[in-house]
Amino acid sequence: MKLDKSVVKSFPMFEKMPDGDIEALLALAVSRRICPGDAFFEQGGPATHFYLLINGRLKVTQVTPDGQQIIVRVVHPGDLFGFARALRRADYPGTAIAAMESLALSWPTELWPQFINRSPHLAVSALNTIGQRLEEAHTRIREMSTQEVERRVAHTVIRLSKQAGRAEGTGIRIDFPISRQDIAEMTGTTLHTVSRILSSWEAIGLVKGGRQKLLLRDPAGLQALANALE
């Protein structure tokens, strides 16, 4: 667990927490490692634990009654996940699937009150986190209501590059495996349309594609495309 402590302390949410408190929290945590394609929890399952992602990358998905799937959000290292329901109901609203090998700490849901009482700052952080997610959801609703698919894809890709980008040459590499299908499920379209759009971007040098890979060669150009007012 010693390794974890310094990692956890590097996350913004915990950086102002005294070492002693962090150790106390870690003492109660169970770490869990997951292979790509496996899930930390499944939609509709009992919400027994909440988690903190240490490393890796997760996709949180929901399926509709008729079997269609959407990606609700992507979880990055340092994010809490599976806790929205700690506040309300007994089951998970979505499924958390690992996009790559991932490691997370988990706590039983019953410890949530203790978790936020441990530090006022942490309580505020948790509130801010959920407020931020609400804002992100509204942004997505706004985009889906008003923008055509190509701009939505541009926004989504840029957002990913900011959250999970790694500099590579003059461009930015999306630093985890992501398929056209995934992007489609994030933007509310089909993998066919995404494929066509990325192909056309590649033709004019904006991006460089690949199997489950994406490199932004011209972030500024993409940004211009995303902001284009008509």
Q: Which residue in the set 62, 179, 193, 223 belongs to the binding site for its own copies (CB under 8 A)?
A: 62
Quote the CA–CA distance of 201 and 162 in Å, as a whole number: 19
Min dist CB 137 to DNA, Å, is 19
Asked whether 181 and 191 are in contact (CB, 8 A), the reply is yes
What tokens does 22 get? 């962090």
Q: Indicate the residue among 55 and 181 with the shorter CB distance to its own copies.
A: 181
Q: What is the 3-state secondary structure (H, E, C) of 92-115?
A: CCCEEEECCCEEEEEEEHHHHHHH
Closest CA to 86 of 53, 109, 116, 114: 109
When asked if residue 18 is in the footprint of its own copies (CB under 8 A), the reply is no
Least Cα distance to 174 among 185, 191, 194, 158 occurs for 158
Question: What phi, psi does 120 have (nearest 5°)?
Answer: -55, -40
Which amino acid is located at 227 in the chain?
Answer: N
Could you tell me which stretch among 5-13, 39-47, 50-58, 188-196 binds DNA (CB under 7 A)?
188-196
Q: Which two tokens stand for residue 162?
A: 């900011």
What's the rounded Cα separation, in Å, for the pair 102 and 115?
23
Q: Which of 129, 163, 181, 223 binds DNA (CB under 7 A)?
A: 181
For residue 129, CA distances in Å to 8, 162, 180, 226 come to 17, 17, 28, 25
Instruction: Find which of its own copies, DNA, none residue 141 binds, CB within 5 to 8 Å per kind.
Output: its own copies
Q: Is 130 in the site for its own copies (CB under 8 A)?
A: yes
Judged by beta carbon, residue 199 or residue 227, the one nearer DNA is 199
- Which x/- pattern, by CB under 7 A, does the window 198-217 give for DNA? xx--x------x-xx-----
**Nearest CB to its own copies, comparing residues 7 and 149:** 149
59 touching its own copies, by CB under 8 A: no
Least distance (Å) from its own copies to the CB of residue 131? 5
CA-nearest of 227, 193, 220 to 206 is: 220
* Stretch touching DNA by CB under 7 A, among 76-84, 90-98, 121-129, 185-193: 185-193
Q: Which of 34, 53, 58, 72 forms a contact with its own copies (CB under 8 A)? A: 72
Residues within the interface to DNA (CB under 7 A): 148-150, 179-181, 188-193, 195-196, 198-199, 202, 209, 211-212
Contacts with its own copies by CB under 8 A lie at: 62, 64-66, 68, 70, 72, 84-85, 87-88, 93, 124, 127-128, 130-135, 137-138, 140-142, 144-146, 185, 188, 227, 229-230
